[in-house]
Amino acid sequence: MRFSLGSRTGRTLLHQSSYPGLGGAVPLIRTACIVTARRGTRRDPEPVAARTPARREGRAMDELMTARSLTTRPVVTLGGDAVAQVKDTVFDAAAGRIVGFALSGRGLLSGSLGHRLPWSAVHCLGHDAVMIRSRRDPAGASPVPPDGEVLRDRVLGARLLTDSGTEVGTVLDVVVAGGRSGRVVGFRVDASKALVPGPRRRRRRVYVPRGEDLTVTGRALVLPGESVRVTEDLSGLGALAAGRPGCTP
């Protein structure tokens, strides 16, 4: 099963990048994507928790970002043209990665591809833009799988459970790695009473790593119980994804 997720506009990005002394719109957009993909430390107005790098399997992890924040993010060529914007993000749940984007705007993809951008045509997913090499690049890429489903129909509000039947919480968002990996790293959830005791109105919204094994059944996502850890911010999620200890419910 595949599912999809649906802030900035291309207009805002280009306006901000046109200030004197910054080298114009094109160089700044390109730098934002390239540097974010490698380090996640330049031109980043978000809290440190949202951009702290972690390490996993000996490689630097790309900047973590929520899938909902990708909505309306501009799609920009390496030549500096803003050609569309993200309407939704399409995932392969079993593989735990982005497989493409649904687009709106200026009709970047015509003909058989329609308004979808396959991940294989993405140069990198940056903090301010989704970068592609050129307008023609998507034409030779594999199409986005047709069975992708919209976030608001399938993921937001889905139940996150352990394989022993304990409710972890309700999914509020999906956390992905930027750069060129497109990995699903974890979920932001409205924690259940079993996970975070106390009155419902006082329950925290926490982050839970995806882990290695995730099963999708209808409107439920199932994780192995022994792998469930929680943290309060993206920095902590990066640490958990890197294998460092976290809070066990």
Alpha helices in the chain (DSSP H): 10-16, 25-38, 151-154, 234-241
Same domain, 9 and 132: yes
Same domain, 18 and 125: yes
Q: Which residue has the tokens 């649904």?
A: 102
Q: How does strand 74-77 pair with strand 130-132?
A: parallel
Task: Quote the number of domains for the chain.
Answer: 2
Domain boundary (140, 170, 201) is at: 140
Same domain, 105 and 24: yes
Q: What is the pLDDT along the chain (249 residues), one digit of tens a residue?
A: 555 454 443 433 333 333 333 333 333 443 344 433 333 333 333 433 344 444 433 344 479 999 999 999 999 999 998 888 888 888 887 778 888 888 887 555 544 345 788 898 999 999 999 999 988 766 556 666 655 555 556 777 889 999 999 999 999 999 999 999 999 999 999 998 878 777 666 668 999 998 788 888 878 889 888 878 989 899 899 888 877 665 555
CATH number, residue 212: 2.30.30.240
User: What distance in Å separates the CA atoms of residue 140 and residue 27, rounded to the nearest whole number?
Assistant: 26
The confidence score (pLDDT) of residue 243 equals 74
Contact 75, 108 (CB under 8 A): yes
Same domain, 136 and 191: no
Position 65 in a domain: yes
